[in-house]
Structure 1
């Protein structure tokens, strides 16, 4: 959990221009300025509780942690306008927009993903949640729903409605969703991709 949180925080430090080795004060400033990071911290705490203690409720420590998680989640959702499904297995290096209005209902998300504001993934129905690969970039005002799989290094442009699986290295956009580019060479920050 703590290793993932450090990598998440590094994304926010990079975004604020603090570089790859920010000092302690820069990290504190990044945390204070980044409501998206607050939501990630709460999610990782809830996911750790479920992973560490399992499904049973007989452990009193788990009940205490669950109560703490539920309370902090409600507070975080109110402050950040970001809600993440507690069972979502999210890799390190997640960056969520500080503008909020994000709902992440998903099974799994790889490393170094970027989600902008006004994005909804999943429908909140059991088995109807998507799975994302590494280095996914989702633009604002987008919706991704259904039991689909998005390959790594994929860019989903602003205002996209996506309901079908995609292979790796794609750029898609629009409503209905259309392929804009295939086989892009994108990395963890794919906003600067090259169009053919």
Structure 2
């Protein structure tokens, strides 16, 4: 039906392989619709098709407030839960099996020692209304609690809460939060 990365995104939502009959799920599921056109744009070498996909991404952006550039680097298994008012800087790098929820901002810091954008590793769950800024690295298996402000490096296997953020070591940080891992 489509690209490998989209099939892996689909698996994150439903826990099964994407088949041609699933096109209705893509059309009527606004989270998947964004992923579908995002992946199609990234995998196309045809300028006309890229423009076509970009128009759909723009429509979704305007309707749901998903500000994610089609050029953003996002690994397989991307999951957008409640896709409203999400802003991600185009220079951000997202790893595999990342969950993002409504109100999340991942942005750039414009001055100081952390001038730049975040790199987010694999198996990261980012809760509602969280903000991540600056040239920082978020490790693997990290849960960022809702309403958390992150502007420093976060080690692997951590839960992050609050503002300023507090880091709690936890080997099972994302257990039962990130399902259907690809």
Deviations 1:88-138 (A, max 9, x none): 21111110023411112243211111001110101386x722111100000
Paired with 1:80 and 1:124, the residues of 2 have a C-alpha distance of 25
Q: Greater share of strand residues, 1 or 2?
A: 2
Deviation for aligned residue 1:66: 4.3
| Higher Cα radius of gyration | 1
Report how many residues are paired: 173
1:112 to 97, 101, 117: 97
**1:174 aligned partner:** 162
2:128 to 133, 140, 154: 140
Contact 2:79 2:97 in 1 (8 A): yes
Paired with 2:37 and 2:17, the residues of 1 have a C-alpha distance of 24
Paired with 2:68 and 2:175, the residues of 1 have a C-alpha distance of 21
Paired with 1:120 and 1:190, the residues of 2 have a C-alpha distance of 20
Contact 1:35 1:79 in 2 (8 A): no
Residues 66 and 97 of structure 1: CA distance in aligned 2, closer, same or farther (over 3 Å): same
Q: Does 1:122 pair with 2:123? A: no
Unaligned 5+ runs, structure 2:
none
- Give the match's secondary structure for 1:129: coil
Residues 119 and 190 of structure 1: CA distance in aligned 2, closer, same or farther (over 3 Å): same
Paired with 2:50 and 2:83, the residues of 1 have a C-alpha distance of 27
Unaligned 5+ runs, structure 1:
15-19, 53-60
RMSD after superposition:
2.7
Residues 124 and 155 of structure 1: CA distance in aligned 2, closer, same or farther (over 3 Å): same
Q: Does 1:190 pair with 2:174? A: no
Residues 85 and 24 of structure 1: CA distance in aligned 2, closer, same or farther (over 3 Å): closer
**1:36 aligned partner:** 31
Q: Greater share of helix residues, 1 or 2?
A: 1
1:157 to 145, 162, 166: 145
The 4+ residue runs of structure 1 with deviation greater than 4 A are 21-25, 186-189
Residues 129 and 43 of structure 1: CA distance in aligned 2, closer, same or farther (over 3 Å): farther
